[in-house]
Amino acid sequence: MGNVPATLQEAITYFSIVENCRTYMVALRWPDGKVLCPRCGSANVDWLPNAGLYKCYEKHDRQKFSLKVGTIFEDSPIPLEKCLLVMWILVNCKIVVSSYEIHRAIGVTQKTAWFMLQRARLATQDPQSGGKLKGEVEVDETFIGGKARNMHQDVKARKIGPNRGPMGKAIVSAVLERGGKVRAKVVDKRKKKDLHAMVREHVEPKAALYSDSLKSYDGLDGEYAHQVIDHAIQYVDGQVHTNNCENFWSLLKRGLKGTYVSVEPYHLFRYVDEQAFRYNNRKDMNDADRFALAMKQAVGKRLTYTELTGSFERWTN
């Protein structure tokens, strides 16, 4: 793609120019450089520089289309220049970027920044290519949130929906291949059924599996070389530990704290995806690679206002 930016400083300069954004998006969407109408597939299209849109000359409705069409940014009113910059910042930040920082950095309202970040987070969802985890795999779960005690009754009723464990905490389950990737998701319960399903879905049979002594992990011995570390006694016994999962939880929790306002359980999975993306792409990748990967994953996904907000306003974090 030629002289794509390598640093945040370069990204700011590069993506401030519409023509550069166009070059980037065309290379991403149409690698041979031939832009096709997303509605009819025709190559009979022209770029209208003043409108910042393409126009298809075939006879059909909605002949004009933007470079955001068919991506998570499709129906965003925010210019592509800013969308690309937000994506760059999200995938390359160390622990977290808050909507307040984006609001100040790129000159949109905090609400808009929050919405842009949630869209961008969708691109960090793991397509789970590369198959199941193998070798030495740790499995663990953690509780997130849960200041339910101090809430008013109605707020409590609203916040403690599905995906909440004891005391209104949400549960996140993770499997992590040592030296490799993590797969993490919000689960309903810490029951055997839920945690076994998580392991079976993501871990190759016969792999070495390490967990703590939670009863729910019992019964995996037949399928995996399962070893247990009893945290009441010790945290590490040779190879038997879940320290890599612990590290991931600490990243996730620091990230959530860094959003400055509590994260609704409804949206928790987005933050889990975001942390897992940065964790999984921390090695052998530079900022430009990470951005390019997220942009690839931004294609073919949509996130509407209604999906994002659910049944009531959630402009909180």
Residues near Zn ion (CB under 5 A): 37, 39-40, 42, 56, 58
Which tokens sit at 280?
């999984």
How far apart, in Å, are the Cα atoms of 54 and each of 34, 38, 40, 111, 301?
12, 10, 13, 29, 20
Q: How far is the CB of 59 from Zn ion (least distance, A)?
A: 9
Please report how close the Cβ of residue 110 comes to Zn ion at its closest, in angstroms.
38
CB 47 → Zn ion: shortest distance, Å? 14
Q: How far is the CB of 296 from Zn ion (least distance, A)?
A: 24
Nearest Cα to Cα of residue 117 among 312, 315, 280, 290: 315
Of the two residues 40 and 197, which places its CB atom closer to Zn ion in the complex? 40
In the complex, minimum distance from the CB of residue 295 to Zn ion, in angstroms, rounded to a whole number: 24
Residue 56 vs 220, nearer CB to Zn ion: 56
Nearer to Zn ion, 34 or 149 (CB): 34
CB of 23 to Zn ion, least distance (A): 22
* Residue 31 C-beta: closest distance to Zn ion, Å: 20
Q: Which of residues 69 and 89 has its CB atom nearest to Zn ion in the complex? A: 69
Nearer to Zn ion, 56 or 263 (CB): 56
For Zn ion, give the closer residue by CB, 40 or 225. 40
Question: Closest Cα partner for 182 from 254, 242, 118, 265?
Answer: 242
DSSP states along 58-125: SSSS--EE-TTTTBTTTT--S-HHHHHHHHHHHHH-SS---HHHHHHHHT--HHHHHHHHHHHHHTTS
Question: Which residue, 42 or 128, is less far from Zn ion as judged by CB?
Answer: 42
Rounded CA separation 276/289 (Å): 16
Q: What ranges make up the beta strands (E) of the chain?
A: 45-48, 53-56, 64-65, 136-144, 170-177, 182-187, 208-212, 225-229
Question: What 3-state DSSP class applies to 17?
Answer: coil
- Nearest approach, Cβ of residue 45 and Zn ion (Å): 7
Q: Which CB, 16 or 44, lies closer to Zn ion?
A: 44
Please report, for residues 109, 118, 130, the alpha-carbon distance to residue 312 in angstroms, rounded to integers and kept in the order given: 20, 16, 38
Which SS3 state, helix, strand or coil, does residue 285 take?
coil
Residue 158: C-alpha distances to residues 131, 142, 261, 270, 311 (Å): 37, 22, 17, 19, 11
What is the SS3 assignment for 251? helix
Cα gap 73→232, rounded to integer Å: 48
